[in-house]
Structure 1
Amino acid sequence: MVYGAGLRLDKFLWFARLAPSRSLAQDLCESRRLRIDGRVVERASALVRAGAVLSWPRGDQVIVVRVEGLPDRRGPYVEARAYYTDLTAGSGALNADAATSSQDALLPEAFALA
């Protein structure tokens, strides 16, 4: 169980650059495809806290990230990347060298930037 300060899930996804816009983050939250610690999320206003594990499907893969901290704003990708850890199995987790070249690798296919 995770305790402490929280942030709206849609804001976290947008601030951490896991979604390209806040409205797409809200759509993902309300699609019932996203889970926090294994529980299905039904609304964008659900709170996420440091230590929580988020998961959602992307194609035939499931993206899994652990929240490491809560950002105060939407900053550059390199800064935002510090707020979560990629736990996706077999993805060769993003590292600092690949982070800038594949910044939308964790986005659901429908949200991937062209």
Structure 2
Amino acid sequence: MTIAGRQRLDKWLWFARVVKSRTLAAKLVSDGYVRVNSVKADAPAKAVGPGDVLTIALERQVRVLKVLAPGARRGPYEEARTLYEDCSPPPPATTETGAGFGDRAPGAGRPTKKERRSHDALFGGDGFGSGKVD
């Protein structure tokens, strides 16, 4: 139920497809991961309306959403996208080093075939330095 264009925060988060269920939306708000206009939301029942700015700390990102309208139902993504304007900062740019498969620090991760062969030549085929291969 919307009152003068306002809606419960947990319901709006669910309608806008920020979270998968309304229960998760309520938990997100209760645990203190949502701010409304830079003030930590204290209850899932807090009313939000057009013009409010939500800062949501999700598992792998922080989203900043400006509420454009209350939701009428939990529709498809295209419909949910009309409820907000995404003001989130762009993700950090990846550097060229470490981005490719061949670019990695020596000794990091699983050895390449070439590294494995040089290791076997140095320590022997069994990996214990005995020099014999069974």
Question: Over aligned residues, Cα RMSD in angstroms?
Answer: 1.7
Displacement over 6 Å in runs of 4+? none
State the shift of 1:58 in Å. Answer: 3.1
Note if contact 2:5-2:69 (Cα within 8 Å) is conserved in structure 1: no
Q: Which runs of 5+ in 2 are unaligned?
A: 92-134
- For 1:33, the equivalent position in structure 2 comes to 33
- 2: CA distance between counterparts of 1:39 and 1:60? 21
For 2:45, the equivalent position in structure 1 comes to 45
For the Cα contact (< 8 Å) 2:16–2:71, is it kept in 1? Answer: yes
Structure 1 residue 16: deviation in Å? 1.0
**d(CA) in 2 for partners of 1:23, 1:84:** 21
Distance in 2 (alpha carbons) for counterparts of 1:57 and 1:15: 18
Structure 1 residue 13: deviation in Å?
0.5
Identify the structure with bigger relative contact order (alpha carbons < 8 Å, sequence gap 6+).
1
Match of 1:107 in 2: none
Instruction: Give 1:1-114 correspondences, 5 Å limit.
Output: 4-59=4-59, 61-91=61-91
SS at match of 2:42: coil
C-alpha displacement at 1:61, in angstroms? 4.0
Q: Secondary structure at the match of 2:27?
A: helix
| Percent of aligned pairs with the same amino acid | 38
- Find the structure with the greater CA-based Rg: 2
For residues 55-107 of structure 1, what are the alpha-carbon distances to aligned partners after superposition, in whole Å with 9 as ceiling and x for unaligned? 0223564210100111111111111111011101114xxxxxxxxxxxxxxxx
Structure 2: how far apart are the matches of 1:14 and 1:61? 17
Q: TM-score, normalised by structure 1?
A: 0.72
- Tell me the amino acid that sits aligned with residue 11 of structure 1: K
